[in-house]
Each structure stands twice: as structure tokens, then as C-alpha cells.
Structure 1
């Protein structure tokens, strides 16, 4: 299906999350002198006019870049992203919004390579024209252009990963964000990443995805956690409670395989601010998870039938125990009456009193009334985290995805 056009959704809250994270990934990659290859599997048009018919018809930028345009005292990690958007609007009026190819062109160094793929015939034509204009503008300013270091192809980005990995410099940043118009896109993303990791396990892979009611969307993050990457990080942003009809995109996520070690701290500094500024009601929130590769027994337990057991080597809070399990694959469980570092028959240690949970609210106030700890495992599992901690509940419903 080729009906999706991102011009109708440019600059929305999903774009803010995606491009803010993308900017941070480029900044991390730029710290080393060795050039890298940026691969965009679904590039779109590259630049979008917010005063166009498509953009004004839906006005989705009012859920994203609009409220941030005149914001002051923003968190430091958010400034490079906002500066990039404002640099393409020198008049001070919000008219243009960048797609991921433009973000990459502005953030990557001159010697870094850009490989851009787009399957929609109209969008790939616009992408070619936008790249040509950007190169011509650099030439007019006396700046050196990328030339052959940026290559655009009208084709399937999923299939193209096979021929591009590993890259010549053995450094790559890959962005995968299909429109998810059909449920097969979820499987295609997972399959493409599994093969990519087999060819180039040290690459950095960033996946944008919508958080929708459909089964494929709800199961998607857990399937990505099973991929053979050394580490992963998952962040979601929800701006409102979905309506009873499930129409509209209220939440989206970015899943990064082999993420920068600095990214989690930056997200925890910035996400509360985005919830405060972009949130529409009490359902606004964010979640952050980080973990390591699932292997052996841990992977089998996660894929088995029955209730999900705590995963030993994923740094995720267990809804059953209230803390992460540190048991490694193949390590025996402690028997009743035993504790780690204590023999059988030893007196059990006095249980620690759980710290009160505080809810993050869109107004930024975290001094709400502390919630009482759950009295049973079932009750604890049903509670939805409202802060930046690990997510234990299913995604919110919706029926439309955004892209790039």
C-alpha cells in the first residue's frame, strides 16, 4: 500500500520524539572522527511545508512542534533539535518542518554518507528535489557539498539493508520507520533488523513505532527485545488518553538497539518536560525501559506459554516482585528460606518497606499523595506506571500511525 503521505502528519508529537532522539544519536556518532553511514529505510519527502494544504488540513503540528516553538527554558538536550527546526525558518515564522533525511544532512559531518530510500513515487521525487536544492544552497554559500556521499534510491529500504551492511567504515546509524499501514510492517521490521544484526551486530538501529490498540503494535516492543543486540532502550510518549472510538495517534515510541550509554539520562531529563508541554489530559505520560540481550533460558521463558516470568538479564522492574531479577540463564532459583549470600535455615531478612510511588502529572507536579503499595501480585501488575519507570501495562489504543 502506498497511500500514506507524511505531509498530513508533519511536526506532530511523534515527529518531536523521533527527531529529538535522532539528533541525539547523531551527536553521539559525531564524537568519533571515523565517518559513518546513515541509512534511512523510509525517508519520505525530506522537508514539509506546514502551511501546505496537507499540513493545515489536519494541523497535527499543533500537538508537537507548535507548543514548543516559543517555549523558553527548555531542557538542554532538547535545544539542538529545536535549533535545527528554527534554523530552517529564519524569518521566525513556523513554516517548514524537517523530515529525517534533512535532520541527518544537518547533523552528520561532511564526510559521513547518507543512503536514503523511499518507495512512494511522489515522495521520492520531492526528496530528490529537496536534496538538490540543499546542495545548490551550499554551493551558493561557498560551502562544500556532499556530492556522491548522499544517494537516494526509489526502492524498498527493508531489502536494501542487505547490500549496505556492514558499511565500509564499520560505523552505521540506521533509522527504520515505515508507515505501519498494514500489520505485515511489524514483521518486516523485526525480520530486517534480525538479518541486519547478523551482518553488522555493532551498528546502531533506531526504530520508530506507533503505540496502537492492534495486537501487532502491543507485542512489537517485546519482539524487538529478543533481537540479538547487546543492549536496547525503549522510550514512549503519550500525550492524551485515547477516546472510546480509538481514532487518532496518541502515543508512539522509539526503540534503539545498541543505544548510546548517555541516552537514557538525557531522556529522563527531557521526557517530563515534553509530557508537561505536549500533554492534553491526565493520560499524558512517558515510559523508559532499558535492557540487555535475551539469550538461552531467559529467551525461552519469555516466548513460552502461561504467565510471563521475570526475565533475568533485562533491567526491567518485575510486576510480580517490584524489582528486577538478577538471576542469569541456567542459574538455579533460591529455595524457600534462602537468600542470596545466606544458607538454608537462616532467618530471613526483614523486608524493606516499599518507597511511595509518585505520579507524574502534565502540570509537572510530582508532589501528589503517595500511593499505597499493592497488596497482591495481581493488583500490582494491573497498575500503570505514570512516571519514567519501566512500563508494565499494554499500549493505549489508536488507529492511525505517523511516519518519519
Structure 2
């Protein structure tokens, strides 16, 4: 049960999707001064080293966040060359421009690194905290059941000296979230992104969301899920859509595919598994600005992170009517 460690996957293409969406949602929610409660149901360790043993072993960040940085620097170098060759001072900005939501994601992650370092990758707890700074009435509650990650998370959070803003709960969030909904402020964002290490997680996510929407219908709920050859993975977004429609709530589903999910064989004839080919983010009660932001961001992301011709993205939504 405790074999999954997000440190192996920090900064991969799934994190790019999840954190781009998370930042866009939080930017919208923090436009209001009213207190906001944010719940991260599977917080992990909070901070990750991309030059550490775990990340180096998987190398997944090289095909995610680090590839985006490389592509951005490549585009900037090309812009500089073009500008120098043509002596055109207006061409540079058009060549290096990225969609606003994707650029915002890169800027937030870069803020945790000095210069061109790019060795630290913030998990969702630190991304959320960075966007809540200066909002003393907001509260961030982090759930992490893994004993090692919970200990590391507490140590990382202690460095922030955030006081009452952040609390860490080493408990099963599938049950623990219930006691906090609805929040006193009547404003909340719930981020749910389990590892799905156990296939029962898919059903538990649906049960959690059903209970949460029943308790607090106007909260914003964000669920990340993998897209893999498993029936539960494909059924989850369909069931979440049904949940939102029955509750009369607006919804949005965004997916990012970077490669084929088909098994291949190497030169020795051994089967090679492709790893995670795609993932999705399902949002109940999304900001009205989110669809346009993610459509632009994921169109660029799919091109930049494509590992084969099967790259794609999709953003669909529906009203609560």
C-alpha cells in the first residue's frame, strides 16, 4: 500500500497538467477577499529534488517540466538570433510567447529555484501556499497517510513558518475530509490526486466526491486521474460527469496525452511498457475562465511534450443546468 512515492514522478507531464490547472483555478478563487479553505487530499512530501535519487531514477521530469524549460530557452535563443540577424526589436516577444496559464505555471515553479537552477520542484502544497501568501484568513489543510512522506512534509512545511495557515493531517483523507465540509467561510477548493496504486482508489474517489458535493455543493472540486488501459480509469471521469450533472453543477474535463499506450518490444524481444501515456483533470464548479485558459495551455503543452505522433489534448465542459 505504501510503495508509491511521488518523488519518482515529480515534474512529469501529469504534474504539468495538474499544476497548470491548479494554478489557474487558484488565481481565480483568490480574486475575492473572502476566506478560502484549500484541501490537498494526497499531499506527498511537498517539495522534491529533481537532482535527487528518486527523480534521477525515473527521469520523468526530463519529459515534463524540464522539457518545457528546455524548449522555452531554445525559443528564446532563436528569438535572440533572429533579432540580431534582422535588427528587429519587435520580433523577440512573438517568438517566445507561451499561453498565459502555461507561462504562469513555469513562473511559479521557477520561483522555487535560483536563476537557471531548476533542481527543486514544488508539489501542490507549496504551489498552493505560494498563491495564498498574504491572505491571512485562508487555510490550507494537507492530508498524507504515507508515514515517511508525512514526516518529510511536516519538516518541509515547518520551514515556511506559516503558523495556523497550514495544518498537516496524517490520516486517510477519503474519510478525514468529511469533518471539514462545509467550511465556515463557504468557500473551498478540494484537490484530490491519489496515486491510484490500489484500483479501489477509483471507487473511493467517486465516493469522496459524491459525499463532498452533497455536504457542500458550491465548493470547487478538482480530481486528477491517470489514463491507462484499465476500465476503472476510463469510467471515473464519466462517473464524475454524471455526479456533476445530477447535482446540477458545472463541470470541466481536461486531458493531456503525450504518447501511445500500446506495449512494444525491444531488440531482445522483451515487452516494454510505455509508462504513463496520459492523464486528466476533472473539475466540478470550475471557474468560468478555466476552459479557455486550459485549451490554449494544453494545445501548446501537447506539442512541446509530445513523445510520438499520438499526442493530443481535449477540454470539454458542461453547465449545471
Do the aligned residues in 2 keep the contact of 1:229 with 1:258 (CA within 8 Å)? no
Please give the alpha-carbon distance, in whole angstroms, between the structure 2 residues aligned to 1:121 and 1:254: 27
1:250 matches 2:277: yes
Tell me the residue number matched to 1:120: 146
Secondary structure of the corresponding residue to residue 134 of structure 1: coil
Secondary structure of the corresponding residue to residue 235 of structure 1: strand
Tell me the residue number matched to 2:102: 78
Tell me the residue number matched to 1:23: 23
Please give the alpha-carbon distance, in whole angstroms, between the structure 1 residues aligned to 2:3 and 2:263: 26
How many pairs were matched up? 284
Please give the alpha-carbon distance, in whole angstroms, between the structure 1 residues aligned to 2:21 and 2:153: 22
Secondary structure of the corresponding residue to residue 98 of structure 2: coil
In terms of fraction of residues, the more helix-rich structure is: 2
Q: CA deviation at 1:229?
A: 5.0
The alignment's TM-score, normalised by the length of structure 1, stands at: 0.69
Please give the alpha-carbon distance, in whole angstroms, between the structure 2 residues aligned to 1:186 and 1:23: 24
1:240 matches 2:266: no
Tell me the residue number matched to 1:61: 61
Do the aligned residues in 2 keep the contact of 1:201 with 1:229 (CA within 8 Å)? no
Please give the alpha-carbon distance, in whole angstroms, between the structure 2 residues aligned to 1:208 and 1:194: 16
Tell me the residue number matched to 1:92: 116
Q: CA deviation at 1:80?
A: 1.8
Please give the alpha-carbon distance, in whole angstroms, between the structure 1 residues aligned to 2:254 and 2:304: 17
Tell me the residue number matched to 2:43: 43
1:268 matches 2:295: yes
Q: Which has the larger radius of gyration?
A: 1
Q: CA deviation at 1:97?
A: 0.3
Give the 3 Å change call, closer, same or farther, for CA 93–229 of structure 1 in structure 2. Answer: farther
Q: CA deviation at 1:91?
A: 3.4
Give the 3 Å change call, closer, same or farther, for CA 173–268 of structure 1 in structure 2. Answer: same
Do the aligned residues in 2 keep the contact of 1:10 with 1:97 (CA within 8 Å)? yes
- Please, which of 168, 174, 182 is the counterpart of residue 198 of structure 2? 182
Please give the alpha-carbon distance, in whole angstroms, between the structure 1 residues aligned to 2:313 and 2:165: 37
Give the 3 Å change call, closer, same or farther, for CA 84–191 of structure 1 in structure 2. Answer: same
Tell me the residue number matched to 2:317: 290
Tell me the residue number matched to 1:111: 137
* Structure 1, unaligned runs of 5 or more: 136-145, 294-312, 314-404
CA RMSD of aligned residues (A): 1.2
Q: CA deviation at 1:110?
A: 3.4
Deviations 1:144-167 (A, max 9, x none): xx3112110100111111100000
Please give the alpha-carbon distance, in whole angstroms, between the structure 1 residues aligned to 2:115 and 2:146: 31
